[in-house]
Chains A and B, each alone.
Chain A
Amino acid sequence: MLDKIQEFASEFFVTGDPLILGAQVSIAIAMVAIVFVLTYFRKWVWLWREWLTTVDHKRIGIMYIICSILMLFRGGVDALLMRLQLAVPNAEFLHPEHYNQIFTTHGVIMILFMAMPLMFGLFNVIMPLQIGARDVAYPFLNALSFWLFFFGAMLFNVSFIIGGSPDAGWLAYPPLSGLEHSPGVGQNFYIWGIQISGIGSLATGINFIVTILKMRAPGMTLMKMPMFTWSVFSSCIIIIFAFPILTVTLALLFLDRFLGAHFFTLDGGGNPMMYINLIWMWGHPEVYIVILPAFGIFSEIVATFSKKTLFGYKSMVFAMLIISVLSFFTWVHHFFTMGSGADVNVFFAITTMAIAIPTGAKVFNWLFTMYRGRIKFTTPMLWTIAFIPCFVIGGMTGVLLSVAPADFQFHNSYFLIAHFHQVLIGGVAFGYFAGLYYWWPKMFGFKLNEHLGKWAFWLWNIGFYVCFMPQYFLGLDGMTRRVSTYDFDMGWGSLNMVSTVGGFLMGIGFIFQVWQIAYSIKHHEKDVTGDPWDGRTLEWSIPSPAPVYNFAVTPHVEHVDDWWETKQKRAAAGAAKEPRPVYEPIHMPKNSAIPFVKSALWFFVGFGFVWDWMWMAIPALIGVGICMLARSFTYDDDYYIQVDEIERTEAALRGVKA
């Protein structure tokens, strides 16, 4: 009996590696500490009522952002471990198997569990405020999306200590990711972790499209929407077309592994290349899903801190929409070397290059927004300005990669690694950081410390170039991606060492950001205006943090930068007092425990299927069904905030100002 338990435990828990043991111990300590703190301060009820069951888009957004910062830490540690291993030739710091797990989890976490939730976090917190809405279209579904993401991410991360991490690369090409070559449970964690959170992303896509189309404040026509809202819209359009493909692809891979189906196997007539096509039909649009909102953020920031209207609004919108369409016609450029023939390669090379045109036009529009403006170098603006050269260089190397015959030499090399990190860090990460700094006061009512922020900015920026510029040359010198070590003779040592130093500079930059947040929480100055940056769009017209109902009175929109115009008008009118607003009761959605419970059950469904434990998966699946029915039978899901309560809240929030 004891033997059996021991045998099970050694298969169940990942053992034998001091790094992992350390992680296990620290996770256990952290868990105990969290439980202790919550119990000691009697915060369990508060946590449940205010956060776990909330359907308020602002709180959901904040939870997304907290998770994504934790995931940035995890993915960043992965990156630094890889850089340590590669710093010198013939290093034996990490075993190849461990190295393979680390680059796989690094990729998955950074794209799906860091960039996506940070993006959704900003969508949630800001977008409804920008269009003058009181919530998203389906607040309940929104909470469900978040918890599905959360438990999907948990399921993926738990593989680190239980069962073993996936190690077949972030897109898990079969046959390597098939049962024959990856018999462990790691790939199952990969499939279920991504599947569960992916369904959440799909729901968010639908939710936000409806929100934008149906819930804009009166007067806000589509062409008067703030640019960030436009970017959310374009990104969500891509989501609803791309994510179903991912769902199917992962489901089929699972059928291969679980029921012995032959979709992507070599024998039985399966076709692994079909997987590669399918996964990139999702995977390529996916990178545009995350980059477009960054474009939106830059557009907002560049206008605000140049004190100028955004240049070329219409062409910006057009460019974004054309990118969303084109993003679906480029996927083959990820495997020009598969031998699809010259015709196919030419077609996809040209569609890929074509994306540079609208993207380039956007860059010029940002530049000319600054032209004849008054540029203020706040931290959000610094990230925006740094983005431009970084993204332009990254975009140009992307164009080089799109030249199909040349790609035969770039493909799978560090040139490619440097390219996509340049657009993903220089574009997406810089963009979301800029957005985080910019909207932080809207979320929490105070600005982050600018001094520490500038330190973080410079460390990240210098670190970025030091880390990734050498990798272009390493790629041209024949160094392929995903190798866990290399010989001294190759002469790659010095550039790799430089690259590692750069990686650590970015790591220090991250520490500065954490310090900045901690420091600002302790030493901040409360922002009482609700508009600390002299903003242009509606979210700055309400107090910070926004009250639960966002807008006491639904605004009426007349201009693109409506809040800016309103401020101009008020300034022109002099001290004339605004008429006292007339409040009406506000219709609000009620909190619900179902999203949390249902997603937790999904976790057990996933966990059960990972281990082939039907005794766990099937009851949990039934539980999911019961949750769906329970929701269908819930009719009492809304309430009204009465006028006196609105008056009290508004007086408290705006009282200081008046």
Chain B
Amino acid sequence: MTAQTTTPASTATQLPFAKAINAGLDAALAGDPKVLLMGEDIGPLGGVFRVTDGLQATYGEDRVVDTPLAESGIIGTAIGLALRGYRPVCEIQFDGFIFPGFDQITTQLAKMHYRSSGRLTVPVVIRVPYGGGIGAVEHHSESPEVLFAHTPGLRVVSPGSPQDAFVMIQEAIASPDPVLFFEPKGRYWEKGAVDLSTGPYASGGTSAQAPAEADAFDTLNKAVVARPGTDLTLVAYGATVATALKVAASAASEGTSIEVIDLRSISPLDTTTVVESVRRTHRCVVVHEAPTFLGSGAEIAARVTEQCFYELEAPVLRVGGFHTPYPVAKIEHEYLPGLDRVLDAVDRALAF
């Protein structure tokens, strides 16, 4: 059965993305004394995007730690803390500044469990505000997710709705595996319904109790149908889910029924949900902000082609960023896969 987005129960509150993540962090900090947050400016300031707002006041300086300005240091010491039994959640201030920590993430964090033949786990979460569209200066709008997804040992996820953001951050923290948690920063202020009783910590659990089976981490493993449709499957995640839903709404007014898949996770990839959808719709377009060359769209196109070769009515098309560094803000909307470019790809796929 394919997972469908459930409308949060009547207890749902309207929360913007940033506040939903804040509430998820709050639940984890409250639920498990081993959880701690670390990063630059996350204390009294609450992070440059205020995602950690108020948490230091509640949990103190030892649990919400303003670190030195050193990404390798943040992630490297988080690894040490995790080896000691803690669950550090690191905030990287902006996507383009994760690279000083790249070595620790790919050579150390990703491989500790493997190298120790499973004796050691390093449950570190790295939160990365990513993606463009906010008119920022260089290094503040990038989408480096596949650089990490290419590394075995890491989970790479990105929530597409405030409800998922709230649950996924909790599942990421409860997960014994390291998780790169990409937050679509352009959508931090976008509101959605959030059921504050969902997620491993908010529903009263602790990571100590969290079962290690994959099923326990539903949002980290399973894609979701964000909008059902019959004519074409539009695959998106994180930053582009809202765009995809707008495309579907717009296409609907012209009589085209588009199914939107919110991947949630880039690694692992829920191929099953995508393939099941394409078997129904026979057409597939993938959209992400990162450059298309060797991007996650390439992987999805290859898998869909391999598994749905005879069902496809059109080649799988990709819409993404260009093979350029992230451009200056005044022209970023031409770089980003917006409504028109995605609709153009949808039309091309339908025309086959």
Q: Do A and B bind each other?
A: no
